[in-house]
A and B are shown apart, each in its own frame.
Chain A
């Protein structure tokens, strides 16, 4: 049996910081996590008295940075945001800053020291992390102490456990397959796609004013969920996030048909790392290859 997670000592501090920010008027709304009927979920708190709803535990999986997307007008209308972030979430904030999507002084970041989260948020109570239940992306986390924050709460946390099989190991297992089998694997996975675009909507870095899949003159990507349309959509989505994806795994978690998008994303991260010596980080100054040109960029593919 999996044990309950130890109580996160920083919750009282988190609630106090949030309450003070709202009382002083530094922010108009705090976006954090709350406990609801089906488990932990995002919550928007604008009344200081409601800050006791805020929680932090191993179920707080949702990357709330997606609500900072400049195209979310109904969130922006609420006024200045105080956002609760884990260390990994900060990478998405850094991504938005790097690409000039938000102004740093338009958001107050409340960092929570995090020792990893579960794969699933829909649980009645937080569980202690085990190799069986930990979100695989937490393995090797180098952001347990969030950077870029205005407030930092909680005690330093231990390293998350190593999952039974890491994402890199799964990518390696796919790489080991002969090309035809790998093709068959991805064909089967992408064939499941129903083109709801949940992957795009929850991605904190999918920030295009108009997504290429919505451009119809000409129609670059067919919108029908047939193998041709699905392959072009899924490959285009992944490539557009190469060197930008922060590996929060929200695309995969929200996919209603269970396509393992984090395996595609990780593979592209590896390629970007190998070719451009670039790793997505929480440093907003560190320009991504997709938006950067260097004289020594590899270009042997240009014939």
Chain B
């Protein structure tokens, strides 16, 4: 417990200010009332009750912008490590000679404050595939340059289920430390050398005096309460779910669960763990251009379209099965953990009502069914 520090609300803002002042990029949730901006006309909500707050992770221009009210940013932290699009190299061609210009793979130090535990955990999960048969320098470079401090999440709503997928609202997985709100400020618990170094470098902002039976207990209670709130949303047996998906590729349940899916791919864009990308060459005039990678999604028909014209995933229910399969069977079988941190964004963003909580519950029930009804028809018993 000696590792616990206290930082007041003012000092947390002060810390952000110090970092920004020293030229370090600080990323944190920023709440924008878009109705107070020139873009108000964009949102019908502004014509309704005159206020629509968007929360996004943004590079702070000043510490006051940081929003610690703990809503969920629209997009996860993913884009700060795997941008929507980024250059991989540039080329110039003259006759038969091609000159390739690499892009920098070293990045300036950066600090993320008040990250959602589901978003930092996702980075740790994706680290595995980014260092599997190829070490992705761009991903790793940004990961190494970034110090992430989580903020214990109170739970957003009934679509949160981080505790059902081996993480939690107070997890430090993928992060370097955790802030938990207590009276007058936050208890800070560093989790890595980077986290300790941050506290050490800004010693004056922290107090090492955290009474175990007052502030310490308050932080523990807050963390336990958040965990039990989320746990009430969904409880599954991840191992049986994985085994069921792995052995029921053709099960009609999977296509039934996908029937209303429009294949719009919005779920993959907002998902903190979806990391698939496409590589395109953009010509910029004659004989020169940029090779760029862009987010892609297995929900798009072209994702698996072969040059021959054949498409092994030629229909939406098959593509949706792939989404479930990759997250809850393929990835855990390969890397030992599910490719989902239970943030619930996919469910919230789906206006057709594809609901991952409902889908996992349905698979969990099928997996727990003794003897599996599809394998042993009732007639066999009579």
Q: Interface residues, chain A, CB within 8 Å of chain B?
A: 36-44, 61-62, 66, 72-75, 119, 121-122, 132-133, 136, 163-165, 170, 173-174, 181, 184-185, 188-189, 194-198, 201-202, 214, 216, 219, 222-226, 229, 253-260, 263
Chain B residues, CB < 8 A from A188: 39
Tell me the smallest distance from the CB of A44 to a CB of chain B, in Å: 5
Q: Of the candidates B263, B280, B352, B357, which one forms a contact with A62 in the assembled complex, judged by CB atoms under 8 Å apart?
A: B352
B49 touches A132 (CB 8 A): yes
Contact yes or no, B47 A170, CB < 8 A: yes
- Given A42-B353, A222-B280, A224-B280: A197 and B42 within 8 A (CB)? no
Contact across chains for B39 and A223 when beta carbons are under 8 A apart: no
Assess whether B259 is in contact with A189, with CB atoms less than 8 Å apart: no
Given A42-B353, A62-B352; A74-B278 close (CB under 8 Å): no
In the complex, are the beta carbons of A254 and B39 less than 8 A apart? no
**CB–CB B260/A41 < 8 A:** yes
Q: How far is the CB of B291 from chain A (nearest CB, A)?
A: 11
Chain B contact residues, CB within 8 Å of chain A: 38-39, 41-44, 47-49, 54, 74-75, 84-85, 158-159, 255, 258-260, 262-266, 268-270, 278, 280, 282, 292, 294-295, 297, 300, 302, 314-318, 347, 349, 351-353, 355, 357-358
**Cα-based distance from A41 to B294 in the complex (angstroms):** 31
Q: Decide if B43 touches A254 in the complex (CB within 8 Å).
A: no
Q: Which residues of B contact A136 (CB under 8 A)?
A: 44, 47
The closest CB in chain B to the CB of A173 belongs to B41
Given contacts A222-B280, A225-B85, contact A256 B315 (CB under 8 A): no
A91 to B48, CA, bound (A): 27
Cβ–Cβ contact A74 & B255, under 8 A: yes
Closest to A132 in B: B48
A299 nearest CB across to chain B (Å): 33
CA distance A197 to B269 in the complex (A): 10
Q: How far is the CA of A260 from the CA of B47 in the complex (A)?
A: 13
Q: List 9 A-B contacts (CB under 8 A).
A: A41-B352, A44-B259, A184-B38, A189-B39, A195-B295, A201-B263, A202-B352, A225-B85, A258-B42
Q: Which residues of B contact A37 (CB under 8 A)?
A: 158, 355, 357-358
CB <8 Å contact, A42 and B266? no
- Docked-complex contact B294 and A38, CB < 8 angstroms: no
Would you call A170 and B264 a contact (CB within 8 A)? no
Contact B42 A189 (CB under 8 A): yes
Q: Are A164 and B317 in contact (CB under 8 A)?
A: no
Q: In the bound complex, do residue B280 and residue A219 qualify as a contact, i.e. CB atoms below 8 Å apart?
A: yes
Contact A44 B84 (CB under 8 A): no
Could you tell me the distance between the alpha carbons of A185 and B41 in the complex, rounded to whole angstroms? 9
User: For residue B278, which residue of chain A has the nearest CB?
Assistant: A223
Residues of B contacting A229 with CB < 8 Å?
85
| CB pair B38 A185 closer than 8 Å | yes
State which of B44, B280, B314 has its C-beta within 8 Å of the C-beta of A119: B44
Cβ 8 A contact of B347, one of A38, A214, A253, A257: A38
The residue in chain B whose Cβ has the minimal distance to the Cβ of A69 is B262
Residues of A near B317 (CB, < 8 A) are 74
Which B residues touch A258, using CB under 8 A? Answer: 42-43, 54, 74
- A74 and B294 contacting across the interface, CB-CB below 8 Å: no
Interfacial chain B residues near A41, Cβ < 8 Å: 260, 352-353
Q: Which single residue of chain B is at the shortest CB-CB distance from A259?
A: B42
Q: Which residues of B contact A257 (CB under 8 A)?
A: 74-75
- B318 contact set on A, CB distance < 8 A: 74
Closest to A250 in B: B351
Chain A residues with CB below 8 A from B85, complex form: 224-226, 229
B317 CB to nearest chain A CB (Å): 4
Chain B nearest CB, measured from A172 CB (Å): 10
Q: List 10 extra interface pairs beyond A38-B347, A181-B38, CB under 8 A.
A: A37-B358, A42-B352, A43-B260, A74-B315, A133-B48, A188-B39, A189-B39, A196-B268, A202-B352, A258-B74
Q: Which of A40, A133, A170 contacts B41 (CB 8 A)?
A: A170
> B282 contacts which of A43, A73, A185, A222 (Cβ < 8 Å)?
A222
- Chain A residues with CB under 8 A of B352: 41-42, 62, 202, 254
Within the assembled complex, what's the spacing in Å between the Cα atoms of A75 and B316? 9
Nearest B residue (CB) for A188: B39
By the criterion CB–CB under 8 Å, are A224 and B294 in contact?
Answer: yes
Q: Is the CB of B42 within 8 A of A196?
A: no
- 9 nearest interchain CB pairs? A41-B353, A198-B264, A165-B47, A224-B85, A201-B264, A256-B266, A225-B84, A196-B265, A260-B42
Residues of B within 8 A of A189 (CB): 39, 42
CB distance from A124 to the nearest CB of B (A): 11
Residues in chain A near residue B349, CB distance under 8 A: 256
Please tell me if the beta carbons of B260 and A44 are within 8 angstroms of each other in the complex.
Answer: yes
B302-A38 in contact (CB<8A): no
State A184–B351 Cα separation when bound (angstroms): 29
Q: Are A198 and B265 in contact (CB under 8 A)?
A: yes
Q: B288 to nearest A CB, angstroms?
A: 15
Shortest distance in angstroms between B236's beta carbon and chain A's nearest beta carbon?
16
